[in-house]
Amino acid sequence: MLGYKASGMKNIINKQSIFIMFMVGKLFPAPLFALTEPGFSARDSALGGAMTAMADDAASMNYNPAGLVHLIQNEASSTYGFLNSGVRGADNASDWALNAGVPINRRFGAVGLTWRDTTERGQHREQMASLGYGKYILGRFAVGLGTRYLNRRPDVSSTLGLDLGVLAQFGESWSVGVSANGVNEPDPSAHFNNKGTVRYGAAFRKPKISLSSQFNVVRSSDGSGRDLFMTLACEKWWLSREYLKSDIALRGAWSLSTDDSSLLSAGMGFRTHFLQFDYAFMLPVLSDAFSSARGSHRLTLTYGFGQSAPNKKSAVGKSNLKRLIAVTRQEIDFYKNLNESGLAQVKYLKASLAEQTKEPRRAKELYRLNMTRYWAQKDQGAPLPERVELLKTVIGAFKPLGITVKGAEKELLASEKSWERGEQKWAADRGEYSKGVAGLEDPMERIKKIIRLEKKYAPSGHSMDFVEGELFELEKFNE
């Protein structure tokens, strides 16, 4: 989290040979099906499947199981796709995938699980279950192992495949990956690239932008040689700002095959602290099929939850932790500025009332107007310190004039008691937090607890010095 997704357009590219080799034979050109294969998530699809070196989430095992080491928290995702219309009469084709990933800890790596169901009504159906594992071994080198069980209908058959992957990280931004699908020569799938493919990838990653390239070598449809596919992809993130409490991404990719056919992919993403939504659109560009293929759409919803443990070797894990720290600080600054702005307005009001109350005839009317202003600010969620100062200003301006201010005094007393109770609860929650994280090395679990405290107390105007101190301590994890 949220995370990212590692699965699709590379599938799009790689699955050509499988799709053609065993399901369609020579009836259609191989690159067409390679470039119209669905991905395992909307993010993968929007990036053209160029995920071998960018694998970093629960779907990573479908491109490079070694990428599971980049998981920073438990995550689960669901993807639904409307597959290419006009290709092989696939107007009723649909695809549904579930992905889950669990980072065990920094020592034992991470595991991933995938289930996928692709259906072409009236023709055939395929279901696949996959299990993957990734772990760091030497420095910043990670290895991964994946296994896939495939069930195919109506010709009721099943097969078990084995995938291998390696991922190397250089510095904080560069990574290179290599993976192989179906090294044990399983029976082929019509929709999943489970055999005869080697993928090579390189990626440059920053929190705000990532560039990825992929080169796939796929067994040709007639088994006589190899087909080659290349993808170039880009992902740009706009991180949350003061008035935007979520991150937004745009993605795009261009995939090419050896016969000059290509596929254009685009998509977008929207993520909060632990929830992410992604969309992708893929359009094959092939002279004899472009007019009939209307393109594919994919939607993915991902939820991050539970305990997690980013590995210090993982630039992705450290980058995501840094992002959560930055977003939390932005929210603290937002509420701090909101409180200071409100107090400044009250100070201005105090000077203004000193002039306005020089006309006693308007005093009662002015009192009513200012109390109406107070109730409106309370309904809008104004911080307690601002409300208390506003009430004190109103009472101080009108009580000496003989105006009855019992309503304001009663509200001031209730507000001050509410503030005291809030301060006591804030102190108690700080104590509970300190006990709960004593000896806890998991930074993601700590940041989640801190975010809950910030969201609970910052809007009310309570001091966030304790939270900011904890954020500073968490930053040491990234050093």
Q: Which residues of the chain carry a pLDDT beneath 50?
A: 1-36, 86-90, 243, 291, 309
Alpha-carbon span 319 to 129, nearest angstrom:
30
Cβ neighbour number for residue 365 with a 10 Å cutoff: 10
Q: Given the DSSP bridges, would you call strands 141-153 and 157-170 parallel, antiparallel or unpaired?
A: antiparallel
Alpha-carbon span 477 to 311, nearest angstrom:
10
- The label of the residue with tokens 């699980």 reads 113
Taking only the tens place, the pLDDT of each residue in 405-435 is: 888 999 999 999 999 999 999 999 999 888 8
The pTM score is 0.66
Alpha-carbon span 220 to 33, nearest angstrom:
12
Tell me the H-state helices in 210-255. Answer: none
Cβ neighbour number for residue 402 with a 10 Å cutoff: 10
Q: If 0-12 CB within 10 Å is exposed, 13-18 middle and 19+ buried, where does residue 75 land? A: buried
Taking only the tens place, the pLDDT of each residue in 161-192 is: 899 999 998 877 899 999 998 888 777 676 66
- The label of the residue with tokens 């992902």 reads 235
Find the angle CA(22)-CA(149)-CA(299) to the nearest 5 degrees: 85
**What stretch of H or E contains 174?**
strand 174-181
- Specify the amino acid at residue 74: N
What is the pLDDT at residue 3? Answer: 34
What is the pLDDT at residue 84? Answer: 63
Q: Are 422 and 415 in contact (CB under 8 A)?
A: no
What is the pLDDT at residue 158? Answer: 81
Closest CA to 291 of 20, 84, 31: 84
What is the pLDDT at residue 206? Answer: 85
What is the pLDDT at residue 16? Answer: 36
Closest CA to 2 of 441, 323, 299, 477: 323
What is the pLDDT at residue 425? Answer: 94
Domains of the chain, start order:
9-313 (2.40.160.40), 326-478 (no CATH)
Distances in Å between the Cα of 68 and the Cα atoms of 136, 215, 271, 367 are 10, 21, 20, 63
